[in-house]
Amino acid sequence: MWFHSLAFAAFLPVVLAGYWVIRQSRLRLAWLLLASYVFYGWWDWRFLGLIVLSSAVDYWVGRQIAATEEPRQRRRWLSLSLASNLGILGLFKYLGFFVESLRSSLAIAGIAIEGPAWNILLPVGISFYTFQTLSYTLDIYRGQLQPTRDPLAFFAFVAFFPQLVAGPIERAQRLLPQFLASRSFDRGQAVRGLRLMLYGFFKKLVIADGLARWVDPLFEQAEAVPGLWLWLAALGFSLQIYADFSAYSDIAVGVARLFGFELMTNFRAPYGARSLRAFWSRWHISLSTWFRDYVYIPLGGNRRRHERNLLITFVLSGLWHGANWTFVLWGAVHGTAYVLEQRWRSLGRLGTLLVVLLAWVLFRAESLSQALEVYAGMAGMGIGWLGSPPATLVLPSQAEGIYLLASLGLFLLLEQLRYRPVLRDSWAHLSRPWRWASYYALGGWILLFAAYEAPQQFIYFQF
């Protein structure tokens, strides 16, 4: 069930009305958990068992870790949590990748191994909720969190539908207490949520999907596209993935506010960063801080062999995104550039943007060979630097192009309003009629563009 689907448009009002009509807090929590399972089961009900299993194991393991002080026994309980969560994730997401990689490596050595292809459906959101529930047992093991004695609240925390399938990846220390607290409807919080949802839908349906209609054909026929157009495609994808993913996070935060919950901010103007370190403190914050706290620091952090720790962390972060060597190399490129930047000096805004843009080619490419084709074309080693795309390339109409350019201008303006305090304060002092007129105008802009073509799936759903 996508946020931008008719099914969700019917689902959300029903769940929201039931949630606030129910006065008894336990029944309200049970209603929210049921709704979250319906939301998740909408894709494939068979995968509900996985999220229930992960929740049950970590709820029980968390209690067991806290109940014993013997270090070896605590490690055993933690190992059970790690094995169950990472085992499920590895089975569904990575086993086929490693098997095929092994076969390819052996084939290079002249050893052919025949066998059936490993085709297994990837449960939606498994990478996100696995990390969310895993952080619960890790924090208990470290003594940073006491286990909850409320299974209903814990299961609802793991399955909370606004952020279940694409984040933000929340920590139990922050979100779980909100499920344990009583709450009443806050009109101001709900209005802020609706406003954020509106902006999220604009970024997804107008900016991200609009750019995809230009970017996708250029990447698919990269060998026949002039270099200048491929640079534009890489730039377009850089904007597309930011608009797409930050849109999901904004909508998730907005929907959560309708129910009285506050989720973390996942993006803070990442393309305004003057260094890779600053970029990663602003991009997918919930994931980058997860890897910092549970991978980088346990490896030794800045205390010893920090460059090795950085590279391992970035490579694992790339692998988290997908079972493909393109994602592994994407992480390795960022890790290497991060280390080199620490050795020398900050890349500056343009240098940071260039590294990020070039790395996005690996992220977007479906294979290493396609990435190499794009890089070769960008270097002018394909059909040349200048010229027009081939006539066989199907691109959007001129009218769509003009509308997209106007939308990009509006997008840049709205980003400035959001992240520049002076402009944000000026907006807040506008009279209410002017602000509401702007919201309605933005809604009309979204409906106008959405009429061009069916919306696309969020990019991060594949992870």
Residue type for 34, please? L
Asked whether the beta carbons of 383 and 224 are under 8 A apart, the reply is yes
Q: Is the four-CA dihedral 159, 162, 165, 171 of positive or negative sign? A: negative
Which two structure tokens, joined as six digits, stand for 409? 């201008």
Residue 321 appears among annotated catalytic residues: yes
Return the residue matching tokens 């988290």. 320
Within 10 angstroms of residue 214's Cβ, the number of other Cβ atoms is 19
Helices (H), 24-125: 25-41, 48-67, 71-89, 95-108
What does the alpha-carbon distance between residue 7 and residue 441 come to, in Å, rounded to a whole number?
24
Residue type for 75, please? R
Which two structure tokens, joined as six digits, stand for 325? 């060597």
The two most distant CA atoms of the chain are separated, in Å, by: 74
Q: How far is CA 279 from the centre of its chain?
A: 15
Within 10 angstroms of residue 59's Cβ, the number of other Cβ atoms is 22
| Catalytic, out of 4, 284, 306, 321 | 321
What does the alpha-carbon distance between residue 40 and residue 51 come to, in Å, rounded to a whole number?
9
Find all residues with CB under 8 Å of 450, minimum gap 6, and list them. Answer: 205, 206
Asked whether the beta carbons of 285 and 249 are under 8 A apart, the reply is no
Query: DSSP letters along 349-404, please?
Result: HHHHHHHHHHHHHHHH-SSHHHHHHHHHHHTT-SS-SSS---TT-----HHHHHHH
Which two structure tokens, joined as six digits, stand for 224? 């026949």
Catalytic residues: 321
